[in-house]
Homo-oligomer: A and B are copies of this chain.
Amino acid sequence: MSDTTNKSNQDSILKKPLSRRDVLRLAGTGGLGLLLGGGSIGGILAAQNKKKAVASPIDAAHTVPFYGQHQAGVVTPSQNFIYFASFDVTTKERNSLKKLFQAWTEASVAMTEGAMVGTDNHNLNLPPSDTGEAAGLTPARCTITFGAGPSLFDSRFGLQSKRPPNFKDLPAFSSEQLEPEWCGGDLVVQVCADDLQVAFHAIRNLVRIARGTAVLRWTQEGFQRTGQADPAAGTPRNLLGFKDGTGNPDVKDSKLMNNVVWAQSSDGASWMSGGTYMAVRRVRMRIEIWDRSSLRDQEATFGRYRDSGAPLGSKQEFDPVDLKSAGEDGKLHIPANSHMALTKGDGSVQLLRRSYSYSGGINLKTGQLDAGLLFISFQRDIKQFVTIQERLAKSDKLNEYTVHVGSAIFACFPGVSKGGYIGDTLL
């Protein structure tokens, strides 16, 4: 190849990063062939003009804005995939942490708009700044949500005084069997998208940007039923075959969200105002045991009918849940130790669940499929999660069929304004 000079020129000409779709369109029209085939400067300019002619505005149908009062990926309607990543910070310099947050912000803005990361994507002498596997793909409603674990507030970065009230590692719960490889982390990055390749691309590029500053601690991919354009498919089912998420609070009710999900300035950590606290539990399902249980036991475990998702004793999925309703024999329709009854309790404590199923090959201990739920909830105060989880850990009938093997909590930053960066209210 003898077009290095041309490529450098081209790079200085094309300062604005090409969107991933533009790259595709140029390739389709032959414009990119000119760009890449070592054509003359004239050819490159022609291609650039062609780019202007075909460049499209942001693909609104597939784009969730990165900037805003709150981070995206919390009340955003669930995308079909998650790529969850927990990081440990390796630098001891607060300024390096700030630079990481700034670089992550810049890359996240690009990726959530479907643009290439960075500008060095056509210089033959350099590693491309974008790893390329999402070229030509839409943003797929990609959201990237950032937060800090309790350990970030230790002495390393002088953030002790910023630790929010109640924001410390979770208490031990009676039935959990935590495995260290699925726990904790200084930082979290939750990528959600309707395309798993787009989600992978985002995490991979963020890991690459973090090199020297932070390293992966644990990751988990997850999915819900995908490729189902028919909205009648309704509430997704978990891998135990039951609808999951029916009882979630309404994300369109902003007053409710301020009450349940978003940290308020009066909550004791003003830098978290507009942020939210995330609880993550990796819940392994004992599917081989579940699969040997009768339908009656299964429905009694959840407190809902398997097919319709309706509360036991009711007819429709969204019928109001009456925990006191009983049959003619006086027996409660919804057993008191069912997952739904214990989750709901007296209804005074709520949280927003945003979970995904996972499946990760064979569990070497059991020889069975290792599958389960990456439980994620967002709440204004981590106490909300603790209150409900203590009830569940104590007597949930579902505990026969599940085991919590991973756990983490994070303070997810408030939203970012243009010109700002993630965590700028903290650092």
Using a CB–CB cutoff of 8 Å, the interface residues on chain A facing chain B are: 1-2, 4, 23-28, 30, 32-37, 80-81, 121-128, 130-138, 140, 194-198, 200, 203-204, 207-208, 215-216, 218-221, 223-228, 230, 232-234, 236-242, 287-288, 291-296, 298-300, 305-310, 312-317, 327-329, 357, 359-362, 367-369, 371
**Distance in Å from the Cβ of A297 to the closest Cβ of chain B?**
9
| Contact of A329 with B2 at beta-carbon distance under 8 Å, contacts A125-B296, A237-B135 already known | yes
How far is it, in angstroms, between the C-alpha of A305 and the C-alpha of B308 when the chains are bound?
51
Partner of A234, one of B136, B291, B293: B136
Q: How far is A25 from B308 in the complex, measured between Cα atoms in Å?
A: 10
Are A307 and B32 touching (Cβ within 8 A)?
Answer: yes
Kindly name the residue among A123, A134, A232, A300 whose own CB sees the greatest number of chain B CB atoms within 10 A: A232
A357 touches B132 (CB 8 A): no
Bound CA span A362–B219, Å: 7
Given A218-B361, A361-B221, do A128 and B306 touch, yes or no (CB 8 Å)? yes
Smallest CB-CB separation from A241: which chain B residue? B132
In the bound complex, how far is the Cα of B333 from the Cα of A2, in angstroms?
Answer: 10
Given A37-B314, A369-B216, also A127-B293 (CB < 8 A): yes
**Complex contacts, A122 vs chain B, CB 8 Å:** 295, 307
Knowing that A135-B237, A360-B360 touch, tell me 13 more A-B residue pairs with CB under 8 angstroms.
Answer: A1-B312, A23-B307, A30-B315, A32-B305, A32-B307, A33-B308, A132-B240, A133-B241, A137-B228, A197-B237, A215-B367, A216-B367, A221-B361
In the complex, are the beta carbons of B218 and A197 less than 8 A apart? no
Q: Which residues of B contact A4 (CB under 8 A)?
A: 296
Q: Are A24 and B233 in contact (CB under 8 A)?
A: yes
Taken together as a complex, chains A and B put the C-alpha atoms of A204 and B287 apart, in Å, by 9
CB distance from A154 to the nearest CB of B (A): 22
Q: Given contacts A2-B329, A36-B307, A37-B315, are A200 and B127 in contact (CB under 8 A)?
A: no
Please classify the interface of chain A as helix (H, G, I), strand (E, B), loop, or mixed, using the class held by over half of its residues: loop
- Is B308 within 8 A of A27, CB to CB? yes
Contact B125 A226 (CB under 8 A): no
A373–chain B nearest beta-carbon distance, Å: 11
| Separation of A123 and B294 alpha carbons in the complex (Å) | 8
A-B CB contact pairs (8 Å), 17 listed? A1-B327, A27-B307, A30-B315, A30-B316, A122-B307, A124-B295, A126-B295, A132-B237, A133-B357, A134-B237, A194-B226, A197-B224, A197-B237, A200-B239, A204-B369, A216-B367, A221-B359
List the B side residues contacting A135 at CB < 8 Å. Answer: 237, 241, 306-307
